[in-house]
């Protein structure tokens, strides 16, 4: 289990020195959780996400939420730290976000099953992105909330989608099939779905620090963790 340190007298937020995965109760691949644990990524359950971690044969560093979806709360309290936050102004994902701190946070199980949960996860990405590196993970994709310029590697013809969380303009891009130079993307307007890499290092430079989503194949997850944990 990842070592934690407490930042204040109330014990919150829990501070993780390495990468963190906040696991939701949506669609979760148990093999992914095992792989993350092997890479020394700490696992925290967002309410019922604790059960998803347990189903993978693992024990979360903590379970955080209003606990209305967690099975056998008493059993979990004998095995790990369970934090009950009764307020209903935020989702369990947001509760876990404001109750933790980490250089990088991945979020499997926050999408699928229910559309309202998926939309709430995207809203949390926009809300928290300015303060921390966040990666949503589903069965197919990884979605990184980006603030400011970003560069990464993508193969020739590999799908690279840029999705605006709010209206965002771009100064330039490098090594994309459809350049973003001078373009403005916005929800309900122009999107950057299904762009593609030209091979090599892709660079995307927005005009300001409005958060936007970079969506890549899930195979990019290990490289993104390695890249972002040191940024």
Neighbours of 192 (CB within 10 A): 23
Which one has a higher pLDDT value, 230 or 36? Answer: 36
Is pLDDT of 216 > 50?
A: yes
What are the structure tokens assigned to 162, written together?
């840029």
Q: Is residue 5 very low, low, confident or very high in pLDDT (cuts 50, 70, 90)?
A: very low
Q: How high is the pLDDT of residue 112?
A: 74
Residues 59, 50 contacting (CB under 8 angstroms): no
Q: How high is the pLDDT of residue 188?
A: 94
Average pLDDT score over residue span 202-225: 96
Nearest Cα neighbor of 42 from 25, 64, 58 is 58
| Torsional sign, CA 122, 124, 126, 131 | negative
Residue 58 carries which DSSP code? -
Assign 219 to helix, strand or coil: helix
Locate all alpha helices (DSSP H) within the chain, ordered by sequence. Answer: 30-38, 49-55, 73-77, 92-98, 115-128, 221-228
Is pLDDT of 6 > 70?
A: no
Report the predicted TM-score, pTM, of the whole model to 2 decimal places. Answer: 0.92
pLDDT in tens, 142-201: 999 999 999 999 999 999 999 999 999 999 999 999 999 999 999 999 999 999 999 999
pLDDT in tens, 61-101: 999 999 999 999 999 999 999 999 999 899 999 999 999 99
Strand-pair category, 192-206 with 168-174? antiparallel
Is pLDDT of 10 > 80?
A: no
Nearest Cα neighbor of 138 from 223, 216, 226, 58 is 216
Assign 22 to helix, strand or coil: strand
Peptide bond just before 13 cis, omega within 30 deg:
yes
Neighbours of 137 (CB within 10 A): 24
Q: How high is the pLDDT of residue 97?
A: 97
What's the chain's average pLDDT?
A: 93
Q: Please classify residue 173 by burial: count the beta carbons closer than 10 Å to its beta carbon, then call 0-12 exposed, 13-18 middle and 19+ buried.
A: buried
Average pLDDT score over residue span 49-62: 98
Q: Mind listing the domains of the chain with CATH numbers?
A: 4-137 (3.40.50.10240), 146-218 (2.60.120.320)
Q: CA gyration radius for the chain?
A: 18
The number of residues in the chain equals 231
Give me the residues paired with residue 146 across strands: 212
Neighbours of 52 (CB within 10 A): 24
Assign 11 to helix, strand or coil: coil
């Amino acid at each position: 289990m990842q070592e934690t340190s407490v930042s204040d007298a109330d014990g919150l937020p829990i501070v993780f020195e390495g990468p963190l995965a906040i696991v939701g109760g949506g669609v979760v691949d148990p093999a992914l959780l095992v792989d993350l644990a092997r890479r020394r990524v700490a696992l925290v359950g967002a309410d019922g996400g604790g059960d998803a971690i347990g189903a993978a044969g693992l024990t979360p560093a903590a379970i955080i939420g209003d606990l209305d979806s967690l099975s056998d709360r008493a059993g979990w309290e004998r095995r790990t730290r369970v934090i009950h936050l009764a307020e209903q102004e935020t989702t369990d994902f947001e509760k876990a976000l404001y109750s933790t701190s980490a250089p990088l946070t991945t979020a499997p199980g926050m999408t699928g099953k229910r559309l309202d949960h998926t939309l709430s996860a995207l809203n949390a990405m926009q809300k928290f992105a300015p303060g921390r590196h966040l990666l949503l993970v589903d069965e197919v994709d990884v979605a990184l909330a980006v603030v400011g310029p970003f560069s990464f590697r993508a193969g020739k013809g590999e799908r690279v989608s840029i999705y605006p969380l709010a209206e965002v303009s771009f100064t330039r891009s490098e090594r994309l099939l459809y350049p973003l130079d001078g373009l403005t993307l916005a929800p309900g307007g122009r999107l950057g779905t299904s762009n593609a890499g030209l091979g090599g290092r892709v660079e995307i430079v927005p005009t300001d620090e409005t958060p936007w989503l970079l969506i890549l194949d899930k195979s990019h997850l290990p490289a993104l963790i390695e890249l972002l944990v040191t940024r």
